[in-house]
Structure formats: C-alpha cells, structure tokens
Amino acid sequence: MDRDQALAFLHDMTLARAFEERAAQEYMQGNIAGFLHLYPGEEAVAVGVLHACEASDYIVTTYREHVHALVRGVPAEEVMAELFGKSHGCSRGMGGSMHLFDAERRFMGGYAIVGETYPVAVGIGYGIVLKDLPEAVICFFGDGAVNQGTFHESLNMAALWKLPVLFVCENNQYQIGTEIHRHSAVPEVYKRASAYRIPAERVDGMDVLKVYEATQHALQQIRAGTGPQLIECVTYRFRGHSMADPGSYRPPVEVKAFQQVDPVEMALRELSLAYPSPEQIATAGPDCLLRLREYCLDQGHLHEESIKDLEQKVQAEVEAAVQFALECPEPTMDDAWDALLCNRNGEVLT
C-alpha cells in the first residue's frame, strides 16, 4: 500500500464515519424520516472492496449503503439530500436512505428486501456475458440474507453460467438482534459457496488492506473468465440495526471488544507507523525504529496536524452536504409522474 492509497482509504473511512454520525443527528432532529441503517464499524468493507473495482463495474447493495455510494463517488450532498427526501438527491428524493441509485456511476441500488441483491446482480452479470465485456458486478449482502432462497438460486445460476459476479458478504454477525449462530446452521458463510463450486474466502473485515487485497485477487480471477467468487468479510456494526434500535441485545463487552479494532483507528495507526511526522522522528531519538514504533503505537495516531487537517476537511464536506440537503426543494407530484411515465416508456431519467 503506497502513501496515496493509504490516504485515500483513510479519507473515505473518515468521511464515512463523519457522514453517518451526522446522519444520525439529522434523524434525531426530524430531518430524515423512515428507516436509517448506519455503517460505523463496517467502513473497511465498503472502502476496501470498492477501491479494488473499476469504474466500469456495477455495484448492487443493500439498504445499509450510504457509505458504498460515497466511496463510489456519489457526492455527499446528493446522498444527504436523498436521505432528506429532497429533489436533488441521487434518486431525486423518491428513494430515501434504502434506495440510493446512480446509473452514471453504475451504482445500481440500494435494495430494502433482504436477499434482493443476488438476482439483480445475476441479471446484470448475464448481460455482461452476452455482450462479452471485461466488466464485473459486485453484489453485497448481509449475513442475515444467506438463508433466503434467492441466495442459492442465484449462486447456482452464476456458477453454471460462469457469470462475472463477486458476492461480498458483510458479515456483521447479526441479523437485526439475532446472532449468526442462532440463525444459520452453517455460520461460516464462505463455506456455503462450495456447494456451487464457487471459490470463496473469509477475510478480516475490520482490516481495509486485507479486504482490498482479497477483492483485487477475486476480481482478477473473475476477469480471467473463471466465473463468480465469494468473499466473506467478518465485521461489526457499532450502532444498533437501525436508528429505531438501541442495540441493547448485545453484551457491552462485545461492543467494546470490536471498538478496540475499529477499522478507522487501525488505518490511522498503520499510516502513523509507515509515515511518521518529522516531529515524531525527532522525539524518537537515536534509538530510531523500535522507539518510534512504540511511540506511535502509544499515541495511536498520525501526526497531529495532518489528522486535524483531514478531519476538518471531512467535517466541512459533511456540513456542506447537510446545508445543501436543507436548502433543496421537496420533489413534486409532477416529478413523481415523470418518473413513473418514464419507466413505463422504458426511458431513463437523466
């Protein structure tokens, strides 16, 4: 991982955390209605996977998808405006938190139905094969979605037709309040892929670099025409299932344990070790590397100024997104009719 890449990961993960925490506040203020499923704790998955993709790949994801949209390049203003249900949102304010969409960036949604992403991804994958293009589809799903019939139907077809689909399980170990070992006879999701002879790997989903490398490897195989792959990223959400859920079914010690391996903190620590500031080097003294490492580990952060700069930049971006969303108009009934008629005529809204 070179410095530019590390900083890009760190930027996206910091933005993701700040965006989601701000969305929670806006929900409490009544500016966001309906369901709101947040992503803190899971950032390394979306960032690691999506940084390994090409712009020509398609993304299909669940209702916990604000961060995926941001990493894919949908402007924070448009994502926040969509959460607010405003007309300049990426789905014109008619989708809301669970239905973000951006055809230009091949971000094919945001789906609220558990297990809905697989058949959509398989359909897109089939289209790619028919056109013989070097593209792939990334299909995200939760651990709670692997007992849906669509999982098995879709994996079967994807394997049979050698479709270019990367199935990515975001295993945060809970389906709302039910732990994976209570809802799944086979809690190791990656093992299920072997039923369809799909190569699969389990990775530490709290480590952005490991997720990135596993995705790169899987996509190389897919682009070589060998058919689908599956990656299970073991991760953890710090908040409840949605804003309506205080998450009190989880032992506090479990939440604390995962917060100690917070992916954002880990990314900061890695950068701090690899790229120390001149001040850090100076204070480390002649004993150099070992002392410096100890120092950086104790502090657990990059040099102060660059962290502050990054945080300020990201906060300003989120603040601008909220202001944009507040000032945006609501969609009108005419907008809804346009969308409906356009779909009936098979046109695409631009």
Ligand X SMILES: Cc1ncc(C[n+]2csc(CCOP(=O)(O)OP(=O)(O)O)c2C)c(N)n1
Residues lying near ligand X in the complex (CB under 6 A): 64, 112-115, 142-145, 170, 172, 174-176, 241
Dihedral sign for Cα 165, 3, 43, 83, please: negative
CA dist 246 → 112, 252, 335 (Å): 20, 12, 36
Residue 113 binding result from ligand X, Mg ion, none, given CB thresholds of 5 to 8 Å by partner type: ligand X
Contacted entry of Mg ion, ligand X, none for residue 228, CB cut-off 5 to 8 Å set by kind: none
Least distance (Å) between residue 42 CB and Mg ion: 9
**Residue 241 binds which entry of Mg ion, ligand X, none, CB below 5-8 Å type-dependent:** ligand X
Picked from ligand X, Mg ion, none, the partner binding residue 145 (CB below 5 to 8 A depending on kind) is ligand X
Task: Tell me which of 172, 229, 235, 280 binds Mg ion, using CB under 5 A.
Answer: 172
Q: Does 85 bind Mg ion (CB under 5 A)?
A: no
* Rounded least distance, CB 171 to Mg ion, Å: 7
Q: Give whichever of 115 and 164 is closer to ligand X, judged by the CB atom.
A: 115
Does 232 sit near Mg ion (CB under 5 A)? no
- Among Mg ion, ligand X, none, what binds residue 48 when CB lies within 5 to 8 Å by partner kind? none
Binding pattern to Mg ion, positions 127-166, x when CB under 5 A?
---------------xxx----------------------
Select 112 or 307, whichever has its Cβ closest to ligand X. Answer: 112
Least distance to Mg ion from the beta carbon of 142, Å? 4
In the bound state with Mg ion, the residue whose beta carbon lies nearer, of 66 and 92, is: 66
CA distance 257 to 227: 37
Number of residues that bind Mg ion (CB under 5 A): 5
Which candidate, 167, 93, 80, places its Cα nearest to that of 125?
167
At closest approach, how far in Å is the CB of 113 from ligand X? 5
Burial of 327 (0-12, 13-18, 19+ CB in 10 A): exposed
Residues in CB range of 303: below 8 A, 6 or more apart: 272, 276, 277, 279, 280
| Least distance between ligand X and beta carbon 218 (Å) | 20
Nearest to ligand X of 154, 272 (CB atom): 154
Sign of CA pseudo-dihedral 264, 27, 25, 257 = negative
Closer residue to ligand X, CB minimum distance, 192 or 241: 241
Closest CB to Mg ion among 144 and 331?
Answer: 144
Q: In whole angstroms, how close is the CB of 232 to ligand X at the nearest point?
A: 12
Closer CB to Mg ion, residue 95 or residue 144?
144
* Residue 129 or 261 with smaller CB distance to Mg ion: 261
Compute the least distance from the CB of residue 144 to Mg ion, in Å.
5
Number of residue whose CB is nearest ligand X: 142
Residues near Mg ion (CB under 5 A) are 142-144, 172, 174
